[in-house]
Amino acid sequence: MHTDLVAALDIGGTKIAGALIDGHGRILVRAQRPTPAQQDGDTVMRAVEEVLGELTAAPLWARAGAVGIGSAGPVDASAGTVSPVNVPGWRDYPLVERVRAVTGGLPVELIGDGVAITAAEHWQGAARGHDNALCMVVSTGVGGGLVLGGRLHPGPTGNAGHIGHISVDLDGDPCPCGARGCVERIASGPNIARRALADGWRPGPDGDASAAAVAAAARAGDPVAVASFERAARALAAGIAATATLVEIDIAVIGGGVGKAGDVLFAPLRRALGDYATLSFVRHLTVAPARMGTDAGLVGAAAAVLVGRERAAAAGV
Amino acid sequence: MHTDLVAALDIGGTKIAGALIDGHGRILVRAQRPTPAQQDGDTVMRAVEEVLGELTAAPLWARAGAVGIGSAGPVDASAGTVSPVNVPGWRDYPLVERVRAVTGGLPVELIGDGVAITAAEHWQGAARGHDNALCMVVSTGVGGGLVLGGRLHPGPTGNAGHIGHISVDLDGDPCPCGARGCVERIASGPNIARRALADGWRPGPDGDASAAAVAAAARAGDPVAVASFERAARALAAGIAATATLVEIDIAVIGGGVGKAGDVLFAPLRRALGDYATLSFVRHLTVAPARMGTDAGLVGAAAAVLVGRERAAAAGV
């Protein structure tokens, strides 16, 4: 039997998605459950088992040769455990071992969700053809992942590219992570909205005080809304420029809800990059919106497995 | 004839050093000239040719199989050119081609000086045995390099690890590079001294107003001197934590004149790392002083060649 499919899991604080995915990144079977994020660890695991149960019940399951997991972080790929910030019931939770037990001992690959998104954008999205790329999700949080020298760089524990929690303002506001002035503390959707409200912006009659509403106000010319996006853009630019200066990337891909704000974000971001990416070897850096949709996490988890296999095959392993 | 030696060049703003180095990192022949840094490009090249002339005149030259160059940056390894900030006569200067011409067509490998120091510390110094490391030079400037997944990571242009010019204070003081609040702008020796003087510290009777003199004052308990080192330590910690969060390193090695300040730097640096390196996968990060001496640039340039050859041999190339 040819095992040409990968079972993929995308585990977040809101939903647990699963799929059987072929070598072209097509989703052939899918399953999903809400994440019982505030419940105990075993209850969360039961939701994962229900998703996997639907997949293993599918006739195509016989063609699944491996499982790829992209999980909200931090993860520990070397230990096979996950400790998602928004799922308190899971701390150093042995997810790889549990998934292996449910799937009949298939090999299981674990990466962080930012790394999974990056694998997807590099395989089929905006980072395709780029050997050195940073891919980001700017949303409720800010996450990311790296492609270096043509390969995904998950790092030893699968968390590399965690750009949301690098400090670009060492005296800045405290971040829930414990540091100060992190990119996420300035540029995430909730922080864009919080800053606009604090500076006097008021939501419209519908009461929508989200970053998307601030983006709409910015597009209509509201100066406070514009300023809040400009501040977020500066923090993103400083973080992206730092990444390029440290590891040499030539493109930064930005997805997530805030990434969908369009020119309200990208115009000041490109200007600010000119201010922070100043050395000769980073000046050509470009930014682009993400191209993969909501399935990026699933497709990326599959990509991490498929690319790993190809590399092993090429090396004769 | 067995070509088991490497000719190494270490090109800085003050001196141009050259050596023939064996596979154990031993320097068998050496030559050196001052860098005529403020003169035209051809004059600078003549100093390089004089250094190489001494090496090629040595009987051991017959055993040299390649040339490794570590140069003040920025460099462009893909184009074979260098544009050292402190050598204005060299802008996109075709150093690799010129060195190849002088050395009878030997293969030439070019990397930035921070990358060279890193190669040396990883081969024989404080980063030995660490698969993921940042090595820094904190001196008149702040430079660095990265080891990722057990290998030197020079990046496509040979400049990766340029930690001195990542911004950790996006609203901070303008940096000569054009950005604001760069690590170098806060933590370099001249900036440590400048800040201490601005805050009221005064040099002793010998008039020494260097960072080394500020370090001596800090050791004697001068609160302004202590505060200036603490500020430098916070900037270094934010930069090191950012690097660890982005690419997962487990050690940061610090050399250069400021790195020699000892506990005056390392004690507040370790405290500040606790403030900025907060995520689970970076909390185990350690810092250590560099172990290689003034020959690190030469040994590292040789290491980059030797390791590249070993890898090629292992891959059957």
Secondary element (H or E) of residue A148: strand A142-148
Residue B235 to residue B252: CA distance in whole angstroms:
14
Out of B163, B168, B276, closest to residue A246 by CB = B163
Q: Please work out, in degrees rounded to the nearest 5, the angle formed at the alpha carbon of residue B175 by the alpha carbons of B169 and B181.
A: 5
Q: Residue A289: is the preceding peptide bond cis (ω within 30°)? A: no
Nearest to B76 by CA among B189, B198, B177, B160: B160
Q: Give B221→chain A minimum CA distance, Å.
A: 25
State how far the Cα of A207 lies from the Cα of A195, in Å rounded to an integer: 16
Q: Are A234 and B170 in contact (CB under 8 A)?
A: yes
Nearest to A280 among B83, B247, B276 (CB): B83
Per-residue pLDDT of A169-180, as tens digits, reads: 999 999 999 999
Angle between helices B211-219 and B263-276 (to 10 degrees): 90
Q: Give me the mean pLDDT over the A89-101 stretch.
A: 97
The whole-angstrom separation of Cα B145 and Cα B163 is 8
Residue B292: its pLDDT value, please? 95
ipTM above 0.90, yes or no: yes
For residue A107, say if its preceding peptide bond is cis, omega within 30 degrees of 0. Answer: no
Burial environment of residue A178 by CB neighbours within 10 A (0 to 12, 13 to 18, 19 or more): middle
Instruction: Return the half-sphere exposure (C-beta side, CA atoms, 13 A cut-off) of residue A299.
Output: 19
Q: For A76, left (φ over 0), alpha (ψ -120 to 50), or beta?
A: beta
Fold classified for B5-112: Nucleotidyltransferase; domain 5 (3.30.420)
Say how far residue B81 (Cα) sits from the centre of its chain: 18
Contact B276 A157 (CB under 8 A): no
Using a CB-CB distance cutoff of 8 angstroms, which residues of chain A are in contact with residue B169? 168-171
Q: Provide Rg for chain A, Cα atoms.
A: 20
Q: Which residue ranges make up each domain of chain B? A: 5-112, 126-289
Q: Are B173 and B191 in contact (CB under 8 A)?
A: no
- Chain B residues in contact with A238 by the CB 8 A cut-off are 167, 170
Considering only CB atoms, A177 lies closest to which of B149, B238, B278, namely B278
Chain A interface with B: residues with Cβ < 8 Å: 74, 76, 83, 131-132, 146, 148-149, 153, 155-157, 159-163, 165-171, 177-180, 234-235, 238, 241-243, 245-248, 275-281
pLDDT per residue as tens digits for the range A6-50: 999 999 999 999 999 999 999 999 999 999 999 999 999 999 999
Helices B41-57 and B95-102, packing angle to 10 deg: 30
Tell which wins on pLDDT, A222 or A86: A222
Q: DSSP secondary-structure letter at B258? A: H
Is B281 close to A243, i.e. CB distance below 8 A? no
Q: Is the pLDDT of residue A308 over 80?
A: no
Q: What is the DSSP string of A56-78?
A: HHSGGGGGEEEEEEEESS-EETT
Spatial CA neighbour of A281 closest among B294, B165, B144: B165
pLDDT in tens, chain B (317 residues): 578 999 999 999 999 999 999 999 999 999 999 999 999 999 999 999 999 999 999 999 999 999 999 999 899 999 999 999 889 999 999 999 999 999 999 999 999 999 999 999 999 999 999 999 999 999 989 999 999 999 999 999 999 999 999 999 999 999 999 999 999 999 999 999 999 999 999 999 999 999 999 999 999 999 999 999 999 999 999 999 999 999 999 999 999 999 999 999 999 999 999 999 999 899 999 999 999 999 999 999 999 998 877 766 766 65
Interchain proximity A279–B235, CB inside 8 Å:
no
Q: E strands within chain B? A: 5-11, 15-21, 27-34, 64-71, 75-76, 81-82, 108-112, 133-138, 142-148, 151-152, 251-255, 286-289
Find chain A residues with C-beta within 8 A of B133's C-beta: none
A275-304 pLDDT, tens digit per residue, is 999 998 999 999 999 999 999 999 999 999
**DSSP annotation of A140:** S
Fold (topology level) of A126-289: Nucleotidyltransferase; domain 5 (3.30.420)
Angle A281-A287-A293 from CA coordinates, rounded to 5°: 140
Residue pLDDT, tens place only, A111-124: 999 999 999 999 99
Which of A166, A238, A245 has its CB closest to that of B245? A166
Question: Of A74, A156, A243, which has the smallest distance from its Cβ to B279's Cβ?
Answer: A74
Please check whether the two domains, A5-112+295-314 and A126-289, share a CATH topology.
Answer: yes
**CB spacing of A248 vs B160 below 8 angstroms:** yes
The span from the CA of A29 to the CA of A17, in Å, is 11
CATH superfamily of A5-112+295-314: ATPase, nucleotide binding domain (3.30.420.40)
pLDDT of A312 higher than 70:
no
When the pLDDT of each residue in chain A is averaged and rounded to a whole number, the result is: 95
- Alpha-carbon Rg for chain B, nearest whole angstrom, is 20
Residues from chain B that touch A279, judged by Cβ atoms under 8 A, are 74, 159, 162, 165, 177
- What are the φ and ψ backbone dihedral angles of B286, each rounded to 5 degrees? -120, 160
Q: B155 vs A74: CB contact, 8 Å cut-off?
A: no
What pLDDT shows up at residue B107? 96
Q: Is pLDDT above 70 for A1?
A: no
DSSP H helices, chain A, are 41-57, 95-102, 113-124, 183-187, 189-198, 211-219, 223-247, 263-276, 296-314
- In the structure, what pLDDT confidence band is assigned to residue A244 with cuts at 50, 70 and 90? very high
Q: Is the pLDDT of residue A140 over 70?
A: yes
